[in-house]
Amino acid sequence: MENWDILNRNGRPTGRTVSRKCPILRRGEYHLVVHIWTVDGKGKILIQRRSDSKPLMPGEWAATGGAAIAGEASRFAACRELKEELGIQKQREELIYVTRMIRRNSLLDVYLTFADCNIEDLKLQEDEVAEVKWVSAEELAEMIEKGEFHNYGKEYFDKLFAAFNTKGNLITK
């Protein structure tokens, strides 16, 4: 059974854990979630469509990511999620930290990484990922605007596109 560490607003463990199956969080308690954005050498961004069987956001185009398990640091969780969901192997130092955002009941760490890979070579975790595709920053922005990509909010995407521009050397919007 997967457990999550419960953190305070500053990201420090409270000493309490909860089961993912019954995640009861009190006010001011959070669990750690990671998103990983993969960019290739041509400036394309890898996005994934969630499995239709997922209870949360089924069938939506979204970021690669998930929850950290108890005892797992943010970068380790990001490497694990990238490997599990897409079969992309990265070391912690290959992840570029973008931002931490406080959500309703989670602390969300966002990372950027680089990989040149063919869609056919990826090993998708079928119960998590239905399909993947490479898109330009402009195409991603258009998908967000049309409601075709999960909307994580203006602040999230402002920070993400700024990271694409400064760290990913992409030209957006």
DSSP state at residue 73:
-
What's the rounded mean pLDDT across residues 37-59? 93
Q: What residue has token string 């973008």? A: 98
User: Would you say residue 167 has pLDDT above 70?
Assistant: no
CATH assignment of 3-166, among 3.40.50.300, 3.90.79.10, 3.90.1490.10, 3.40.50.1000 = 3.90.79.10
Ordered by start, the domain boundaries in the chain are: 3-166
With a pLDDT cut of 70, the percent of the chain lying above it is 95
pTM of the predicted model as reported, rounded to 2 decimal places: 0.93
Q: What residue has token string 């079928």? A: 126
What's the rounded mean pLDDT across residues 143-163? 95
Average pLDDT, the chain: 93
